[in-house]
Amino acid sequence: MFRKIGWLLILGAILSAAGELLLLKLPTLRWSFDVSREMDWLNWGSGDRPFLWFGWLSVLVFLICGILLLLKFPRDFQFTPITQRRIDRFKSIKRGHRAFVIVGFLALIASLDHLLVGNEALLMKYNGQFYSPALQRFYQSSADEDVIFKGKHFGLTGDQAEAAPNYRKLKKVFKEEQKGDWLVMPLVPYAPTQDTVTTPTMALETRDDGLLYKPGSLSPYSGLASKIYDINEPNRIHLRYRFRDGQKDGAADGWDRKNNRIYGAEYSEGKLVSESWSGEGDKAKFLNTSSSDLSVIYYAPSPPSLTMGHLLGTTPQGYDVLAYLYGGLQVNFKASIFFIPAIYLIGISVGLLMGFFGGIFDLFVQRLIEIFSNIPFLFVIIIVSASVPVQIKEKSGLGVILLILIIFSWMGMTYLMRTAALKEKARDYVAASRIIGCSTPRILFKHILPNAVAILVTLVPFSVSGLVMGLTSLDYLGFGLPPKYATWGTLLKDGLSNLSAPWLVSSAFFCLVSLLILVTFIGEAVREAFDPKKFTYYK
């Protein structure tokens, strides 16, 4: 297993470096370079091609870790009998093992990144040439601005000519033109954030009884229905009527193409009662102006709809909820990858040193931890997060929040490691290590730490749960990540602010609770599998 992880790390490092050199946007593997590109202090130089030292350092670290794993665990490596029994015990606990498989599958899904959820075409054919905007990064390949993907390169005109192409619209255009051009979008063709979708509409239908219905509905429609000048711009309304039981009933309004209200009317049970006209020209000509069929306009947040392409609806910002949830899952996994090693490295090191040396050092660190422990954790994080300048938070975002969480989260395991070090340093193998001249770091991390690994393994799942809840709480309170990140806490806050849109809070709540339950199942199974009493016999 460890050799496979080593090979995966080496392969990931090679692909990440190759992707950067070949100007490819590989899913997940590009992340360290993207972070280095966004944050000025993580790169050197200026201009279009600075040296992304953080990205290359990450590649080097992954490469070294992979090589060390291969050297540490040869082909004939076998776990000790007690470790193998612990692994078998974990597999026998079906609930925990299945939860582990599900979380692993979710991690794999999250790693697919924009190949699964994104607003860029995976592959497209235009004028006989093939492109892959989702995987190619053209803006660094040449100084010529024509290399950058713009709407004009694919036939878009007007304001969209100089902007990034709207590939969802291009797909419709290609289908209508039938010139042999085509493109393939990801399974969810929306980005998690910064991708406000066009206000969705649903055309209504008039049936044999003369009443208006929603498609597939058995009861007549009641509510507002509009005729739109351009179906791609739902805010440009031509006429708007109020319906009750499928008939016009109530006020009606009309606007010209300049969005000036020039028509008003009043209906009762489908019959015109009164009307007013303040526009230029003929009223009848205005009413007969070419526009869409009567449609329902779903302003954000819009409800879930398969026909409109939003399985879980949209957020108040106009983002697709399914894509937003996916982005939130990615944030949780990325945060865990950096948060868990950081707090365990600090906590293990400090705890082992406390137990091994004892004395004044032990007393000093204990008092320091007591001071930090008595400080209200959440309040301090809120104060520090609020004091960080907006510019830094916008650029550094996740890094700043993780740094704040790491500063206050490493203390939980120090006492456990201190206890383990106090117990183990009195054993004969530690005395033998001292006699043969082993250094203190070697005694701590080579001899004492492996005997305390069971404690660490059982803590990891619960540390992940704490991180997820911490990020969600901060985002819910408005002190978390900037808006460019999709977070479940923000979705919860939006849902509770829009109780008329229950799909928001229910989606976020379901995902959050499901992930926490899965992680808890894993933690309970690991704790039971590594319980020393399971393999201890008394005579």
Q: Express each pLDDT in 155-188 by its tens digit.
A: 777 777 778 888 888 888 888 888 888 999 999 9
Do residues 69 and 8 make contact, with C-beta atoms less than 8 angstroms apart? Answer: no
Sequence-ordered list of residues with C-beta below 8 angstroms from that of 218, at least 6 positions apart, any chain: none
Please name the residue that has the structure tokens 């006209």.
277
| DSSP reduced 3-state for 93 | coil
pLDDT (mean) for 292-306: 86
pLDDT at res. 332: 94
* Choice between 400 and 1, residue whose per-residue pLDDT is larger: 400
Sequence-ordered list of residues with C-beta below 8 angstroms from that of 294, at least 6 positions apart, any chain: 203, 204, 212, 225, 226, 227, 241
Do residues 468 and 515 make contact, with C-beta atoms less than 8 angstroms apart? Answer: yes
Q: Where exactly are the structural domains of the chain?
A: 2-77, 123-184, 201-297, 321-534
Report the predicted TM-score, pTM, of the whole model to 2 decimal places. 0.86
pLDDT tens digits for 113-162? 999 999 999 999 888 888 888 888 764 444 444 467 777 778 777 777 77
Q: Percentage of the chain surpassing pLDDT 70? A: 96
**Sign (positive or negative) of CA dihedral 237, 242, 245, 249:** negative
CATH class label, 321-534: mainly alpha
Specify the range with the lowest mean pLDDT, choosing from 99-108, 212-221, 530-539. Answer: 530-539
pLDDT at res. 138: 67
pLDDT tens digits for 261-283? 999 999 998 899 999 998 888 88
Go through the chain and tell me how many residues it has: 539
